[in-house]
Amino acid sequence: MKMHSLIAAMFVGTALSALPVLAHGDLHPAHGGRMLEVQSQVLELVVGDGVVDLYLNDHDNHPLAAEGAEGKATLLVDGKKLDVLLKPAGANRLSGTGPVTAAAKGSAIVSVRLGGKTITGKFGGAP
């Protein structure tokens, strides 16, 4: 191997080892919902009877202030689409109401405007 190739390989290897690891691996829900990490934010979606809650945390699982945030959850349940507007409802929680049940099975797309940026993520089917 030529010297410049060896030096380049060493540099790339060192640079890659210094990159932060963004994935949490297994995420553990604090509120019994479904977890998703997107754009270095951790979202927990909880669907209950008549209510949809979205908890916001940073990559290190510290709560993000929901004040001033807004969002929408589009639930796809039993072949039907339901949009639920989400408003601040606690320190790190957005909440909205709609004709949903805790037993509903389906997926969801959430979009949250937080701190001047939009975070969008898709939650797969029910756990």
Q: What is the mean pLDDT of the chain?
A: 79
pLDDT category at 7 given cuts 50, 70, 90 is very low
* Residues in a beta bridge with 118: 113
pLDDT at 24 over 90: no
116 secondary structure, DSSP code: T
Q: Which H or E run contains 15?
A: helix 3-17
Q: Is the pLDDT of residue 45 over 90?
A: yes
Question: Is the pLDDT at 1 greater than 80, yes or no?
Answer: no
- Both tokens of 126, joined, read 């029910």
End-to-end CA distance of the chain: 50
| Three-state DSSP class for residue 9 | helix
Q: Any idea where the domains of the chain sit in the sequence?
A: 24-123
Q: Which burial class, exposed, middle or buried, applies to 86 when counting CB atoms under 10 A from its CB (0-12, 13-18, 19+)? A: buried
- pLDDT at residue 27, as a whole number: 66
| CATH, domain range 24-123 | 2.60.40
CB neighbours (10 Å) of residue 126? 13
Residue-wise pLDDT tens digits, 60-100: 888 999 999 999 999 998 888 999 999 999 899 999 999 99
CA distance 85 to 96: 6
Residue 2 has pLDDT above 80, yes or no: no
pTM of the predicted model, to two decimals?
0.76
**What pLDDT score was predicted for residue 112?**
96
